[in-house]
Amino acid sequence: MAAPARRHADVTRAFGGPVLIHSAVEGIASSTPAHEDVDLVRRTLLGLNEGGAGMLRIYRPKPTAAFSPRDTTLGTYAAAAEAMLARGFEPVERRAGGQLAVYDGGALIVDLVAPHGEPRTDVHDRFKLFSDAIASALAGTGIDTRVGEIDGEYCPGTYSVNAEGRIKLAGIAQRVGRCGYHLGAVISVRTSDRARTAVAEAYRIMDYPFCPATFGALSDFVPDLSFAALYQRLQAAIAGELIAISDS
């Protein structure tokens, strides 16, 4: 019994909580533009400083080109943002992540914002536990999921979730605030050639390496997977394993 008890203590220490469920399956598609979705995360994280509630939100986004802080320092940033806008992807500046992520309604976004007494501790544990929970939820569909970076993947990361060590399925990012943290995931559910083409163009402009063969989706392996079913799996994996939940 010692190992489960120790794991529970590790999870509690790393994740804190509780949070509110921000959306339900019936409202899974975002009704707001990309910049408002990104701003909601920023406002919720800042609100924790005043004792505000966190949130768990899982939704299908509008077409988005989410540039990282690093991207915005490049001399080619403006050209890349203009190219994304021309392709119908709204350029936004996110506060977490290493490189540009491009996605549309074929993806599911997971935003977990939670209060924490010492958010700068256990950062890597949160990354690992969160990515493991995402991988577990995706593995429940029958896919061989693994955590780790694939050579040539877009927005590369140590805690990315992939299929069979060759197709990136989810990117994971984290931002730490004064009184809490934000963990985010972009999960490719349905193949989007439009997003793949946009990523390739933007990465060429910004001189980032990218192998299009690593850009895929869950539908490449489970064609009939529904967003609602995946939503339920993700919510159960995150809320059931990592954090305390209160109904909004």
Domain of 44: which CATH number?
Answer: 3.30.930.10
* pLDDT for residue 23: 58
* pLDDT for residue 248: 44
Q: Is residue 105 part of a domain?
A: yes
* pLDDT for residue 1: 36
* pLDDT for residue 34: 97
Q: Is residue 7 part of a domain?
A: no
Q: Is residue 11 part of a domain?
A: no
* pLDDT for residue 2: 39
Q: Is residue 148 part of a domain?
A: yes
What are the residue ranges in the chain where pLDDT is below 50?
A: 1-2, 5-6, 248
* pLDDT for residue 247: 52
* pLDDT for residue 245: 55
Give the distance from CA 152 to its chain's centroid: 19
* pLDDT for residue 77: 98
Q: Is residue 207 part of a domain?
A: yes
Strand residue runs (E) in the chain: 19-21, 54-59, 64-67, 90-93, 101-103, 107-115, 145-147, 161-163, 167-176, 180-188, 245-246
* pLDDT for residue 241: 67
150-192, pLDDT tens digit by residue?
999 999 999 999 999 999 999 999 999 999 999 999 999 999 9
* pLDDT for residue 15: 85
The answer to whether residues 54 and 113 touch, using CB atoms and an 8 Å cutoff, is yes
Distance between CA atoms of 148 and 170, rounded to whole angstroms?
10
* pLDDT for residue 6: 46
CA distances from 103 to 14, 114, 123, 238 (A): 29, 24, 26, 22
* pLDDT for residue 16: 78
At 236, which helix (H) or strand (E)? helix 227-241
What token pair was written down for 142? 């029958």
Q: Is residue 158 part of a domain?
A: yes
CA distances from 43 to 22, 49, 54 (A): 14, 10, 10
Strands 101-103, 64-67: pairing is antiparallel
Split into its structural domains, the chain has a count of 1
What length is written for the chain? 248
Distance between CA atoms of 105 and 13, rounded to whole angstroms?
34
The answer to whether residues 154 and 101 touch, using CB atoms and an 8 Å cutoff, is yes
Contacts of 65 (CB under 8 A, 6+ apart): 81, 84, 85, 89, 90, 91, 92, 100, 101, 102, 198, 202
Contacts of 140 (CB under 8 A, 6+ apart): 233
Q: Is residue 8 part of a domain?
A: no
Distance between CA atoms of 177 and 180, rounded to whole angstroms?
5
* pLDDT for residue 95: 83
Domain of residue 81 covers 17-246
Q: Is residue 167 part of a domain?
A: yes
